[in-house]
Amino acid sequence: MRLTGKVALITNCSHFMGPAITEEFAREGATLALHDREAKAAAPLVDLAERLGRTALALTGDLAESAEADRAVDAVVARFGRLDVLVNNNACPPAGSATENVTDAAWRELMARLLDEPFYCLRAALRVMRPARRGKIINMSSAAAFPGLARYAAYTAARAGVNGLTKAVGREVARDGIQVNAIAQNYVENPTYFPPELTADPKALERMVKNIPAGRIARSEESARLAVYLASEDADFFVGQVIPFAGGWVT
């Protein structure tokens, strides 16, 4: 098992890629700290990890507040004595809109959830990882940031910000034994953007598949297994990479 002995913090564990990454990390031997805004959302994933024989800690709070990111990391270290892996799993479904109609509130919400949260958590994790001279940070992002999506300017900007953050911080901390990388995905099964009710609709699926050179939607575990790889010692030479995972939609 590639993550045996590793302590991993997964944010927003009930959203986006959180359930799949929780399961794959548990199968690979990781000890897990699972953070969500509500305790009841994290509880089923704690149960899943424990059924797979792993120790799991539930944490709650709003990571768009920088103090909460600090508290979350401190709680992991207090419980387990270390933090080896941070998975910034951030999601905020946008509503398509002409750019001039984007409200201040919609802009702020997307930036808070998709850019502030991962930055605050990354910063808090580095305060632990730099002295230890080891660590992996994986930012779950979106391939939408590569071409830019018309009518989704705020969402595209937030995801592009995380991708840029990944590149900059990845280069900054590589000599400290810390690897920062991102998975920029699209067309992957997950409860936030591509839920079962969408992918089970034949007409919706047909429309989507037309855009995907691979000819299908990815299974959630496929992206989660890439996250396992990036969290493992096998990926020590990956530095500041934003990896497209979109079936050829972007390359």
Longest pairwise C-alpha distance within the chain: 52
Sequential DSSP letters for 41-67: HHHHHHHHHHHTT--EEEEES-TTSHH
Task: Name the active-site residue from 120, 152, 155, 187.
Answer: 155
Known catalytic membership, residue 120: no
- Report the distance separating Cα 158 and Cα 82, nearest Å: 30
Among all chains, which residue has been given the structure tokens 């992957």? 188
The rounded Cα 64 to chain-centroid distance in angstroms is 15
- Is 142:184 a contact under the CB 8 Å cutoff? yes
Among all chains, which residue has been given the structure tokens 């479904």? 93
Name the residues annotated as catalytic.
155
